[in-house]
Amino acid sequence: MDRYDAMRVFTRIVERRSFTLAAEDLGLPRTTVTDAIKRMEARLGVRLLQRTTRHVSPTLDGEAYYRRCLQLIADMEDAESAFATVKPTGLLCIDVQGTLARHFVVPRLPEFLSRYPEIELHISEGDRFIDLVREGVDCVLRVGELQDSDMIARRLAMLAEVTCASPSYCERYGIPVRIDDLERNGHRMVAFRSSATGAILPLEFSAGGSLRKIMLSAPMTVTGAETYTAAALAGLGLIQAPRYRLESYFASGELLPLLEDYPPSPTPVSLLYPRSKQLSPRLRVFIDWTAGLFPSSSL
């Protein structure tokens, strides 16, 4: 193993805090990874990693060397990516909100993999905040307002939202015509708890150039998009969600769009990746390709 590859091994161990996970990410035997670090430490004459049976962390020398390695690897990858003959290769790990993945990303993946056949994709599904470096994820695709973080965020689209309920719910509580009808007639909502903040999200309505937020009585609270929609289908209350997820239910009559003159604020879609992580050629092409999945600013 040359020094460049050994640096890649070392930086992955620091990021994953594990010899085993780093070996899996790089497709190497664990013994190869261990031997590479031993030779590196012997050559440098310093201890780079503190090892216990359950944890691996860099020493002060290791932390300084890690930062230098990142820069050297970045320079090397930039130099290689400048040539058109260099093809993006290797494992790319992304984390995507589930319904977004199924509607926008997965149907177009054959096109991406055909264009870049030497990239191997691993897709995990979620919408929680994750430590990308520690969990070995290259980037995440998220829906909603973002928390402050040191990650780079690229806004891809604004998704139109809609208020809706099932016909059975409307038969029981009536069809609201104005926002004030909601509280006046005792309407209910399915409460959605944000996995990012832990807070229950109020219903939002645009009226007269301002945004009005309302909390209604809620028979249940959910944290998942699929359960949220299922609760509305069961007649348990009003929900607000991106329109693209609900169009099939509007077409079948299982859900009814309501208060369309007072739409909720649109929801942003963003791609995030670590600021400190050098963009590999495979991540660069994925970011550019993902931006093309959303051809307009509002869907």
Q: Is 54 helix (H, G, I), strand (E, B) or coil?
A: coil
**What's the confidence (pLDDT) of residue 297?**
47
Instruction: Report yes or no: 168 and 251 within 8 Å, Cβ to Cβ.
Output: no
Q: Is 216 helix (H, G, I), strand (E, B) or coil?
A: coil
Q: How far apart are CA 242 and CA 169, in angstroms?
A: 20
**What's the confidence (pLDDT) of residue 130?**
61
Q: How far apart are CA 84 and CA 87, in angstroms?
A: 8
Domain assignment present for residue 199? The answer is yes
- Looking at the fold, whether 150 and 65 belong to one and the same domain comes out as no
CA distance readout (Å), 236 to 152, 190, 217, 222 = 38, 7, 11, 12
**What's the confidence (pLDDT) of residue 164?**
98
Q: How many CA atoms lie within 13 A of 1 on its CB side?
A: 21
Low-confidence ranges of the chain (pLDDT < 70): 77-86, 127-135, 146-150, 196, 276-278, 295-299
Read off the amino acid at residue 259: L
- Looking at the fold, whether 38 and 132 belong to one and the same domain comes out as no
- Looking at the fold, whether 77 and 12 belong to one and the same domain comes out as yes
Question: Which ranges constitute the DSSP H helices of 90-162?
Answer: 98-100, 109-115
Beta strand 256-258 pairing with 161-165: antiparallel
**Given 32, 52, 81, which residue is the final one in a domain?**
81
Which residues, at least 6 apart from 190, have a Cβ–Cβ distance to it below 8 Å? Answer: 218, 219, 220, 221, 222, 228, 231, 232, 236, 237, 238, 239
What CATH number corresponds to the domain at position 77?
A: 1.10.10.10
Angle, CA 92 vertex, CA 86 and CA 97 arms, to 5°: 140
Number of independent structural domains in the chain: 3
Token pair for 150: 């040191």
Domain assignment present for residue 297? The answer is no
- Looking at the fold, whether 219 and 241 belong to one and the same domain comes out as yes
**What's the confidence (pLDDT) of residue 295?**
57
Please name the helix (run of DSSP H) or strand (run of DSSP E) that holds residue 81, with its range, or none: helix 60-81
Beta strand 90-96 pairing with 139-143: parallel
Please name the helix (run of DSSP H) or strand (run of DSSP E) that holds residue 290, with its range, or none: helix 281-291
**What's the confidence (pLDDT) of residue 211?**
93
Strands of the 267-274 sheet, one edge to the other = 119-125, 90-96, 139-143, 267-274, 151-159
Domain assignment present for residue 61? The answer is yes
The predicted model scores a pTM of 0.65
Instruction: Report yes or no: 284 and 145 within 8 Å, Cβ to Cβ.
Output: no
Using alpha carbons only, how large is the chain's radius of gyration in Å? 24
What CATH number corresponds to the domain at position 276?
A: 3.40.190.10
CA distance readout (Å), 54 to 18, 20, 68, 154, 196 = 8, 11, 26, 36, 28
- Looking at the fold, whether 99 and 128 belong to one and the same domain comes out as yes
**What's the confidence (pLDDT) of residue 81?**
62
- Looking at the fold, whether 75 and 210 belong to one and the same domain comes out as no
Which residues, at least 6 apart from 225, have a Cβ–Cβ distance to it below 8 Å? Answer: 97, 98, 99, 127, 241, 245
- Looking at the fold, whether 116 and 51 belong to one and the same domain comes out as no
Read off the amino acid at residue 116: Y
- Looking at the fold, whether 173 and 261 belong to one and the same domain comes out as yes
The burial of 233, by beta-carbon neighbours within 10 Å (0-12 exposed, 13-18 middle, 19 or more buried), is given as: middle
- Looking at the fold, whether 147 and 206 belong to one and the same domain comes out as no
Domain assignment present for residue 219? The answer is yes
**Given 81, 109, 135, which residue is the final one in a domain?**
81
Closest-CA residue to 228 (of 94, 98, 95): 98
- Looking at the fold, whether 150 and 274 belong to one and the same domain comes out as yes
**What's the confidence (pLDDT) of residue 276?**
58
- Looking at the fold, whether 192 and 260 belong to one and the same domain comes out as yes
Strands of the 200-201 sheet, one edge to the other = 200-201, 191-193, 221-222
**Given 81, 102, 122, which residue is the final one in a domain?**
81
Domain assignment present for residue 218? The answer is yes
Domain assignment present for residue 298? The answer is no
Beta strand 139-143 pairing with 49-51: unpaired
Containing domain of residue 129, as a range?
Answer: 90-154+269-291
